[in-house]
Amino acid sequence: MQASSTLAAMQAAEALRAEGADVVDFGAGEPDFDTPQNVKDAAAAAMQAGKTKYTATGGTRELQQAIIDFYAQAFGARFERGEVMATSGGKQAIFNAVVTLINPGDEVLIAKPYWVTFPEVVIFAGGIPVFIETEDTGFVLSVEQVAAAITPRTKLIILNSPCNPSGRVIPPAEFQKIMELLHDRGIYVITDECYLRFVYPPAEVFSAASLPAELRSKLCVAGSFSKTYAMTGWRVGYALAPREWTRQMLTVQGHSTSNTNSIAQAAAVEALTGPQESVGEMLAEYTKRRAWLLNALRQIPGLSCNEPEGAFYAFPSVQSFLQGELKTSADFASRLLREEHTVVTDGAAFGAEGYLRISYATSMEQLTEGITRISRFVERLRD
């Protein structure tokens, strides 16, 4: 397995900080906000009430119900208790779903650029990741691209919209066409909805869970509390999948980690069912930063950036600067770190050489300072 390059970027920044450097960090893959107070209070109350024991492997009744109710309310989707399980983050939901389905030699479609974990989990399960190029469509996956990648050995596709790292969103109509195609071909689907709520108008929040039941018969929705509620450290996510698939995932989880943390589960119930103001406040802040960042990036000559309709990343191309000693986006990122103490993540880590991921899960002050540094760096490259 490959070590996570996003973690490597974090470590490089930490090493510079330890030497006393003033580092601007655009590498973060997690919200810079604290977990909402009501969620923390719920965890404290759960601890005091003695909710400190094992729960059912798939989570408490309260948490399962809260997840079911959220999908019913937001997307009109009907799920039963046997079709939902709480997991240790969205990551475990994806892991469970892949290892229960994939046998050696099975092909799994993954669109580029992809979240780094997808191919690694597929390889772990003995499967073969088959990558779909999407640069021609600005990194928005189309039904034609999916159709062209299907072979008789295709067992599964992993979809991620909004996408980490590109921030792009598959429009709902296109998403439905993709799901219809996959249904016709009998291909399983995992939709990673980790950034479900991070969509900026006019783009729309969309879950495959809202599709008609027949299109969902081979669908596993993997979700997470990490980003929406700034709860990355609590490790709560979930899977919504057909009963038999869920049963197998419960077996894997039951023999590996068992239930996710009981106190964190109580906190997650409050996150979903309690006041939602803090989510709105966080989204308003991301909206402001996104608009500012996109505008600033587009003013840097030579840099080009697609519109990221979701998540909290911009994914600009630095291809026009790659010449001479600066051959790759990794070279660009490491020189930027060395010369301007600014951390960005190399797009090649996500299967997109020539691009950089810039996270705006950081303050406006840091964004402003970081863009000043990138502009200065780029100006020197042009000289």
Residues in the site for ligand PLP, rule: CB under 6 A?
A: 29, 89-91, 115, 160, 164, 192, 194, 224, 226, 232, 237
Least CB distance to ligand PLP at residue 140 (A): 16
Tokens describing residue 313:
């990343």
Across 62-76, b (16+ Cβ under 10 Å) vs e yields: bbbbbbbebbeeebe
Tally Cβ neighbours within 10 Å of residue 152.
6
Closest residue to ligand PLP, judged by C-beta, is: 89
**Residue (7 or 15) nearer to ligand PLP, CB:** 7
Task: Give the residue carrying structure tokens 């892949």.
Answer: 98
Least CB distance to ligand PLP at residue 377 (A): 27
**Residue (29 or 127) nearer to ligand PLP, CB:** 29
Q: Where are the alpha helices (DSSP H) in the chain?
A: 5-18, 37-48, 61-75, 89-101, 117-124, 143-149, 172-185, 243-254, 262-273, 277-298, 329-340, 364-382
**Number of helices followed by number of strands (H, E) in the chain:** 12, 12
**Residue (194 or 358) nearer to ligand PLP, CB:** 194
The candidate with the shortest Cα–Cα distance to 146, out of 383, 53, 137, is: 137
Give the dihedral sign, CA 362/367/370/371. positive
Least CB distance to ligand PLP at residue 194 (A): 4
Least CB distance to ligand PLP at residue 90 (A): 3
Judged by phi (left if over 0) then psi (alpha if -120 to 50, else beta), residue 274 lies in beta
**Residue (107 or 192) nearer to ligand PLP, CB:** 192
**Residue (164 or 317) nearer to ligand PLP, CB:** 164
Least CB distance to ligand PLP at residue 34 (A): 16
**Residue (6 or 306) nearer to ligand PLP, CB:** 6
Least CB distance to ligand PLP at residue 73 (A): 21
